[in-house]
Chains A and B, each alone.
Chain A
Amino acid sequence: DAGVIQSPRHEVTEMGQEVTLRCKPISGHNSLFWYRQTMMRGLELLIYFNNNVPIDDSGMPEDRFSAKMPNASFSTLKIQPSEPRDSAVYFCASSSGGTDVSYEQYFGPGTRLTVT
């Protein structure tokens, strides 16, 4: 099993540009989570999907952020336009199904985004 795959691993872009982060969850997992990690705010949940449907996007900072999950094996997080304060490490995580809250979340290696 390859684990959760994220791309790119590093992204440097200029303010105002569009940024797209990609995630491939573990095969068979039906929950997918996007997190943002910064020194100031720690680890924040941005949005999560269950069976490809967005369940809770209350953590999305503002309208510049959007996320999609067109199928069970792919999700994107888009920032348009990007701003320097969006600089952070963005993690994707996936989890298997069921209602058991003890299900483990498996994290990808993260995308380090720098907006200049």
Chain B
Amino acid sequence: GDSVTQMEGPVTLSEEAFLTINCTYTATGYPSLFWYVQYPGEGLQLLLKATKADDKGSNKGFEATYRKETTSFHLEKGSVQVSDSAVYFCALSDPGSARQLTFGSGTQLTVLP
């Protein structure tokens, strides 16, 4: 079945540091890939998405590129801010799964001033 593997957290960085959160996936078809963010006490919000190989999703300074050859969708940001502190979830939607999302376990990011 489909699965998403994220790097273990928590991740703690200083403000303006470079961020990478690794995500790899297993899917039977050609999935769409997503990064969701969850701020404390809130629900998940879509951060960015990519629907086919080599697509790059970007939003709020975050980027991720759909790499079919390595089955990866790593999240990056060049300079993190304290306000980026949250839990980040990688997810996929497989065409055979009728719009269901398969989530990774989430990575807690804390950015210190």
Chain A residues with a Cβ under 8 A of chain B: 4, 31, 33, 42-43, 45, 48, 50, 55-56, 91, 93, 95, 101-110
Q: How far is the CA of A102 from the CA of B55 in the complex (A)?
A: 13
B interface residue numbers (CB < 8 A to A): 31-32, 34, 36, 41-46, 49, 51, 89, 93-95, 97-101, 103, 105-106
Are B93 and A102 in contact, CB atoms less than 8 angstroms apart?
yes
**Chain B residues, CB < 8 A from A101:** 31-32, 51, 93-95, 97, 99
Q: Is the CB of B103 within 8 A of A95?
A: no
Q: How far is the CA of A95 from the CA of B32 in the complex (A)?
A: 15
Give the complex CA separation of A60 and B64 in angstroms: 32
B89 surroundings in chain A (CB, below 8 A):
43
Cα distance, A42 to B100, chains bound together (Å): 16
Could you pull out 24 A-B pairs where Cβ atoms are within 8 angstroms?
A31-B99, A33-B100, A42-B106, A43-B89, A45-B100, A45-B101, A56-B100, A91-B44, A95-B99, A101-B31, A101-B51, A101-B95, A101-B97, A104-B34, A105-B44, A105-B99, A105-B101, A107-B36, A107-B43, A107-B44, A107-B45, A108-B43, A109-B42, A110-B42
Identify whether the interface residues of A are mostly helix, strand, loop, or mixed. strand
Q: Are A102 and B32 in contact (CB under 8 A)?
A: yes
For A56, list chain B residues within 8 Å (CB): 98, 100
Q: Report the bound CA distance from A67 to B60 in whole Å.
A: 36
Cβ-neighbour of A4 out of B32, B43, B46, B103 (below 8 A): B43
Q: Is the CB of A43 within 8 A of B103?
A: yes
